[in-house]
Chain A
Amino acid sequence: MGASSVPPIAKSITVRAPIERAFKVFTVDPITWWPPAYTIGTSPMKAIVIEPRIGGRWYEIGEDGSECQWGDVLVWNPPHSLALAWRINLDWKFDPSLLTEVAVKFTDIGGGRTEVHLTHSKFENLGDRAAEALRIFDGWSSNLERYATFIEQTSERGT
């Protein structure tokens, strides 16, 4: 399927702000800069939360108060780096077993400026609708085989 060859997204941007501020703006109230169209909730976004610790949740809160989880914090190393798990599948739904990884590095480049480098990788973990459908049916087939074996064994015992 060529899924393993899906290249990561890599972006860099230089901001005229000290590293501490860059990290803070990125992680505290990201709703201030998040493009509003990029939501998976049904109601417009009111807030985005990144809980500031490893294992912390990353989620959006809709205007109706509903929460939609996006992922969680994998690395928390302020103000130098963080990594977030983005666990949204091909149907734009949260799937805790899916891992795609957003890694962000902040580098002080002097003069009160910070370079921010972001990579979003592991897209191969998204699998592929077709590949996944096949996998599910393979799973069903082996379940059926196990079931058949079980039936045969128990009926042998029964007779």
Chain B
Amino acid sequence: MANAPGAIAALADPTRRSVFELIAKAPRSVAEITRALPVTQSAVSQHLKVLKGAQLVSSEASGTRNIYRLDPRGIEKMRKWLDGMWDQGLASFAKHAERKDD
């Protein structure tokens, strides 16, 4: 699986992996994650920053706290890219097919 090298590197740290696995089970706040692990809240925040950078988790404000959940953006990003590709591609294809000189 060479699909997600950045993501895998982000999970190499065992504590960070525990943070990720907690979020994978259910969306949670920093405080909830901290309560479940033997590390400080600032350490958890650092791990969350790395996980966000690798697009493994995303956060959403809920009242005064951020709720972290698995990040579903990867596919949607690729789909948008391909949507643009086929839009531009088909328009250019039609122009080319309608040319009479070749």
Contacts and interface: CB of A to CB of B under 8 A. Distances in A.
Interface in B35-53: none
Contacts of A93: 2
Contacts of B98: 15-17
B93 A26 contact: yes
Contacts, number: 129
Given A21-B97, A22-B97, A130-B24, A9 B82 contact: yes
Interface residues of A, number: 45
A17 B94 CA distance: 9
Contacts of A16: 98
Contact of A25 (B17, B87, B96): B96
The A interface is mostly helix, strand or loop, or mixed, namely mixed
Interface of A: 1-3, 6, 9, 11, 13-17, 21-22, 25-26, 32-35, 38, 86, 89-91, 93, 95, 98, 114, 116, 118, 120, 123-124, 126-137
Nearest to A114: B97
Given A33-B95, A129-B54, A91 B75 contact: no
A129 B4 contact: yes
Interface residues of B, number: 44
19 contacts: A1-B70, A2-B72, A14-B94, A33-B93, A34-B92, A86-B82, A90-B75, A95-B3, A118-B86, A124-B75, A126-B74, A126-B75, A128-B70, A130-B7, A130-B71, A131-B70, A132-B7, A134-B21, A137-B17
Contacts of A13: 90-91, 93-94
